[in-house]
Copies of this chain bind each other. A is one copy, B any other.
Amino acid sequence: MENPKCRVRIKIWIETEDGDTLFGEGQISVLEAIEKEGSINAAARSLKMGYRSMWGRLKKLEQRIGQPLLIRRKGGQTGGESILTPEAGAMITSFRNLKRRIEDASTKIFEEEW
């Protein structure tokens, strides 16, 4: 192509064999925010999402994945914390690694092909 100063961008997500979305960037960002902030409330604030909407997304995600993603600790000084299950942590890491490898491959293919 004529414009040498362009690049390819990608978005990835995981779906079932039947074509239903399992999760993608949005869900992973929610899990990362909870990991960083320590509660659904603080994570919702940091992503400028409503608590209820984030809660709904998490419940739906747990159903789809068939595994608990959060360990909730009610009460305490800060009024309820949430930490990720190891499975949720593995999900974040796997997704980030996958995305990085696919991005690297895409850039390489683009440079060869375009």
Question: Which A residues are within 8 Å of any B CB, using their own CB?
Answer: 1-3, 5-17, 22, 65-67, 87, 90-91, 94, 97-98, 101-102, 105-106, 109-110, 113-114
| Interface of chain A: mostly helix, strand, loop or mixed | mixed
With contacts A7-B14, A8-B13, A91-B1 taken as known, whether A109 is within 8 angstroms of B101 at the C-beta atoms is: yes
14 A–B contacts, CB within 8 A, in A order: A1-B91, A1-B94, A2-B67, A3-B16, A3-B66, A7-B14, A7-B16, A7-B17, A9-B12, A9-B14, A94-B114, A97-B113, A98-B113, A105-B106
Are A15's CB and B7's CB within 8 A? Answer: yes
A114 neighbours in B (Cβ, 8 Å): 94, 98
Selected from B10, B17, B87, the residue in CB contact (under 8 A) with A6 is B17
